[in-house]
Amino acid sequence: MGYTLGQKLIQSHLVSGDMTPGSEVGIRIDQTLTQDATGTMAYLEFEAMGVERVRTELSVAYIDHNTLQTGFENADDHRFIQTVCKKHGIRFSRPGNGICHQVHLERFGIPGKTLIGSDSHTPTGGGIGMLAIGAGGLDVAVAMGGGTYYITMPKMVRVNLTGKLNPWVAAKDIILEVLRIMSVKGGVGKIIEYGGEGVKTLSVPERATITNMGAELGATTSVFPSDEVTRSFLKAQGREQDWIELLPDADAQYDEVIEIDLSSLAPMAAMPHSPDNVKSVTEIGQIKVDQVCIGSCTNSSLLDMLKVAAILKGKTVHPDVSLSIAPGSKQVLNMLAQNGALADMIAAGARILESACGPCIGMGQSPNSKGISLRTFNRNFEGRSGTADAGIYLVSPEVAAASALTGVLTDPRTLGDAPQVTLPAEFLINDNMVELPASPEEAKDVEVLRGPNIKEFPVTKALPASIEAKAVLKVGDNITTDHIMPAGAKILPYRSNIPYLSKFCFGQVDPDFSERCKAEGKGIIIGGANYGQGSSREHAALVPLYLGVKAVITKSFARIHQANLINAGILPFTFANEADYDNIELGDELRLPDVRALIAQGKPVTLENMTKKESYPLAYSFSQRQTDMLLAGGLLNYTRENAN
C-alpha cells in the first residue's frame, strides 16, 4: 500500500515509533521558527538547556507580534532575542520584515522539509509541501538543540478538490467551507491533505491561506503537494534549487475523504465567535460594518494585496468604516509601493499598518463598542480583538475590500468584473532585514542583553504520590488559549513575566479565578470538549502552573495545549464517561489518589469527589516519554534528569 503525502513526510524524518495512527512518533526537525510573543520564553528555555549552537539546518526568530512598544518591555525582549540569535546561530528577522509565516514561506520554506514553530499557524508552510507543525516554545527549544519532536501519529484526511473557483470566490472560502464541514475540533489528530485536479488551479499564496487556517480545524497540520505551481513560486523567489516534486502515491489510503467542487463555492464568512460558524455572505445579509481589517498570516500575500488595491482603486472607503491594511511582509509592502498599488490603497483612505500581526492579536485597531468588524484573519474568538462586545466576521480579502466601500457586508459578485491579478515572474528579493548569527568564534564574545521584564520561570516539582485540590474552575466546550491566557496590547508585552500575566488568567471567563486559585495554592480545572484550542502559547500552561493548577480534567483536549500541559508537568486527563463532567461543581473537593504510581504503571486512574462522595473513572494515553515527563514534573526537569 502506498503512502499519503503526510505519511511520506513523516516517514522520511522518522526517528522513533511506527506510523500506526494514535501511537507516538518521533520526528527529526530540519527547520524551526519562533515569533516574539512566544520567542522570549522559548529562548530562555533554550538557554537553560545549555546548548551553544542550534543543531537544525535553519532556525529563524521573527519579530512580528509585539510591535506596538507602548513601554520598554517589547523593545527589551526584542534585544534579548536578537542577541540570543547572534550568539546561538539563529537568523533574526528584524521588526518590519514581516509576519513569520508569510516571510518563512517566501524566503525559507523548502518542500519535503520539516518545520516546527512556536506559533499555531506554522502549517502555512504546508502550502509548499513542508511538514510544518505548530508547537509549544519548549518543544521548539528542544528541536533547536537537536532533539526529536514527538507527535501522536495522525490519521490522514484527503480533501479532494475538483473544478475551479468562480470569479470573486477565494481560497479563504475553501478553508471556510472545510471548517463548516469539519468544525473547530474536526481536525484533531489528523493531517489534512489537499489533492485532486482543483489543486493545480491554486497558486502558492492561495494554498498557504488554506494550510494556515487549517490550524482552526485543530489539525496536526495541512499539506499540499509540491508541483509545477510550487516550482514557479520558488523560482520567482529566486529559490528554484529548493524545489522537489512531492506527491502522494496513487494507491495511498486515507482515513477520510472530503469532496469539494470549487465551482460550487460562494463568498463566505465565519460569524462571531467561532471560525467554524460559517455561512455564505448572501445568507448572512447586508449587515452594517464599522471596521474592516485586511492582513494577518492568512491573507497578506502580494496576491491578496493586489486584489484589494484593484478593488479600492479610484474609490473611497465608506464614511462609517475604518479600513486598515497590513501587508504581510516587507517584500509585499515594497512591491506594492513600487507598482503603485499602495498609492491606490492610500488614496482610497486605507490606514496602512506596518507588516506585522497587529489587530489580529489585538495589538491596536480594537473596534468600537458592539462594533462589527470584517477581518481577513483566522480567529474571531470573543474578546480577541480587544473589544469584549465586538462581533468579528472572518472573510476573504475580496469580501473585505468590497464591504469597506459599501459599508455593509457585501457579496463582491455584485460589483461587476473581478480584478485580474497574477503573481509576478520575479519577486523583489532583499533579505537585508534578516540578520545572520555570529560565527562560532565571534559568538563567544556576544553578550545576551536581558531587560527587567524578564522574570523567573515557574519551578516545577516531581509529581506527588496523590493530589488533593478543589475544582477551582469549571468551563464549557471549545475554551481557547485566548480565554486561558488572553493576549492584546495591554497584556502581550508581559510574555516573559509570568507573575504579572497570572493576574489575567481566565479573566474574561471568571475575573476572580486568578486570586482564588492563588489563595488556594493549588487546584484542578474541569473543562469541556476541545479544551485549549487555538494558539500554541505555552503561557496557557505556564501561568496555570504558576497559580498552582495540578491537573486539568476535560471531555477532550486540543493537541498543542495538551502537549504544553504535559511539558509543564500538569496532568491532562479526560473523563472516561463524559456525563461525569456534569457531576462536578466549582469548589468541590477532589482527589487523585495514588496518581503517581498509577500513571507510572499505566493503570486506571479515578477522580474522587469528596464533596459529593462520588468517584469517576478517568482516561489517558500517555506515551512512556510523556509519563516520564509528568513524573519528573515537566520537560525541563525530565531533560535535566536525563542529561544527568
**Binding-site ranges for ligand MIC (CB under 6 A):** 37-38, 65, 119-121, 134, 361, 487, 534-537
Q: How far is the CB of 457 from ligand MIC (least distance, A)?
A: 17
Q: Which stretch binds ligand SF4 (CB under 6 A): 164-172, 336-344, 355-363, 405-413?
A: 355-363
Q: Counting contacts by CB under 6 A, is residue 172 touching ligand SF4?
A: no
| Per CB under 6 A, 97 contacts ligand SF4 | no
What does the alpha-carbon distance between residue 612 and residue 579 come to, in Å, rounded to a whole number?
15
- Choose between 66 and 226: whose C-beta lies nearer to ligand MIC: 66
For residue 296, the partner it binds in ligand MIC, ligand SF4, none, with Cβ less than 5 to 8 A by kind, is ligand SF4
C-alpha cell at 627: 509519563
Query: Which is nearer to ligand MIC, 137 or 569 (by Cβ)?
Result: 137
Nearest CA to 160 out of 191, 190, 193 is that of 193
Q: Please identify, using beta-carbon distances, which residue of 226 and 481 lies nearer to ligand MIC.
A: 481
CB of 480 to ligand MIC, least distance (A): 9
Residue 123 beta carbon to ligand SF4: minimum distance, rounded to whole angstroms: 11
Report in angstroms how near the CB of residue 113 gets to ligand MIC at its nearest.
Answer: 20
DSSP labels, 74-138: HHHHHHHHHHHHHHHT-EEE-TTSB-HHHHHHHHT--TT-EEEESSTTGGGGGGGT-EEEE--HH
CB 616 within 8 A of CB 606: yes
Our finding on whether 191 is near ligand SF4 (CB under 6 A) is: no
- Rule CB under 6 A: is residue 324 a binding residue for ligand SF4? no
Whole-angstrom Cα distance, residue 503 to residue 497? 11
Cell numbers 516520564 correspond to 628
Environment class of residue 1 by beta-carbon count within 10 Å: exposed (0-12), middle (13-18) or buried (19+)?
A: exposed
In the complex, minimum distance from the CB of residue 487 to ligand MIC, in angstroms, rounded to a whole number: 6
Q: Write the DSSP assignment of 414-471 as a string of letters.
A: GGSSPP-----SS-----TTEEPPPPHHHHTTPPPP--TT--PPPP--PPPS-EEEEE
Partner from ligand SF4, ligand MIC, none binding residue 99, C-beta < 5-8 Å depending on class: ligand SF4
Shorter beta-carbon distance to ligand SF4: residue 140 or 357: 357
Judged by CB under 6 A, the chain residues 107 through 166 that form the site for ligand SF4 are 119, 121
Q: Residue 351: in which H helix or E strand, if any?
A: strand 351-352
- Of 556, 580, 574, the residue nearest 618 (C-alpha): 574
Note whether 27 binds ligand SF4 by CB under 6 A. Answer: no
Which CB sits closer to ligand MIC, 37 or 374?
Answer: 37
Q: Which residue of the chain is nearest ligand MIC when measured via CB?
A: 535
Query: Rounded to 10 degrees, what is the CA torsion of 354, 358, 363, 368?
Result: 100
Assess contact for 606 and 565: CB atoms under 8 A: no
| 134 phi and psi angles, rounded to 5 deg | -85, 145
At closest approach, how far in Å is the CB of 615 from ligand MIC?
A: 36
Per-residue CA distances from 185 to 30, 335, 559, 572, 608 (Å):
28, 38, 10, 17, 29
Q: Which residue, 99 or 570, is less far from ligand MIC as judged by CB?
A: 99
Residue 38 interacts with which of ligand SF4, ligand MIC, none, CB < 5 to 8 Å by class: ligand MIC
Edge to edge, the sheet with strand 24-27 lists: 14-16, 24-27, 149-152
Least Å from the CB of residue 133 to ligand MIC = 12
Q: How far apart are CA 453 and CA 564, in angstroms?
A: 23
Note whether 99 binds ligand SF4 by CB under 6 A.
yes
* Residue 107 interacts with which of ligand SF4, ligand MIC, none, CB < 5 to 8 Å by class: none
The separation between the first and the last C-alpha atoms of the chain, rounded to the nearest angstrom, is 43
Does residue 378 bind ligand SF4 (CB under 6 A)? yes
* Residues between 64 and 93 with contacts to ligand SF4, criterion CB under 6 A: 65
Active-site annotation, residues: 64-65, 119, 379, 535, 537
Instruction: Give buried/exposed letters for 572-601 (b at 16+ CB in 10 A, else e).
Output: bbbbeeeebbeebeeebebbbebbbebbee
Q: Which stretch binds ligand SF4 (CB under 6 A): 44-52, 353-361, 415-423, 607-615?
A: 353-361
Residue 260 near residue 160 (C-beta atoms within 8 A): yes
CB of 620 to ligand MIC, least distance (A): 25
* Beta carbon of residue 282, minimum distance to ligand SF4 (angstroms, whole number): 27
The CA distance from 606 to 581, in Å, is: 13
| Residue whose C-alpha cell is 509545477 | 228
Q: Which does 537 bind (CB under 5 to 8 A by kind): ligand MIC, ligand SF4, none?
A: ligand MIC
Q: Is 357 in the site for ligand SF4 (CB under 6 A)?
A: yes
Residue whose cell numbers read 545549555: 50
Contacts of ligand SF4 in 264-323 (CB under 6 A)? 296-297
Does residue 360 bind ligand SF4 (CB under 6 A)? yes
Q: Are 66 and 492 in contact (CB under 8 A)?
A: yes
Nearer to ligand MIC, 62 or 108 (CB): 62
Residue 553 touches which of ligand SF4, ligand MIC, none (CB < 5 to 8 A by kind)?
Answer: none
| Cβ at position 65, least distance to ligand SF4 in Å | 6
Task: Please choose, out of 227-235, 356-364, 518-526, 622-630, the segment that lies near ligand SF4 by the rule CB under 6 A.
Answer: 356-364
What backbone torsions phi and psi does residue 278 show, to the nearest 5 degrees? -100, 135
Kindly tell me which of 8 and 65 has the beta carbon lying closer to ligand MIC.
65
Q: Which does 234 bind (CB under 5 to 8 A by kind): ligand MIC, ligand SF4, none?
A: none
Indicate which of ligand MIC, ligand SF4, none lies near residue 536 (CB less than 5 to 8 Å, by partner kind).
ligand MIC
Q: What angle do CA 139, 460, 450 make, to 5 degrees?
A: 65
Residue closer to ligand MIC by CB (options 37, 423) is 37
Q: Is 361 in the site for ligand SF4 (CB under 6 A)?
A: yes
Helix axes 171-182, 204-213, angle to 10 degrees: 30
CB 83 within 8 A of CB 101: no
> How far is Cα 627 from Cα 631, in angstroms, rounded to an integer?
6
- Interface residues toward ligand SF4, by CB under 6 A: 65, 99, 119, 121, 296-297, 357, 360-361, 377-378
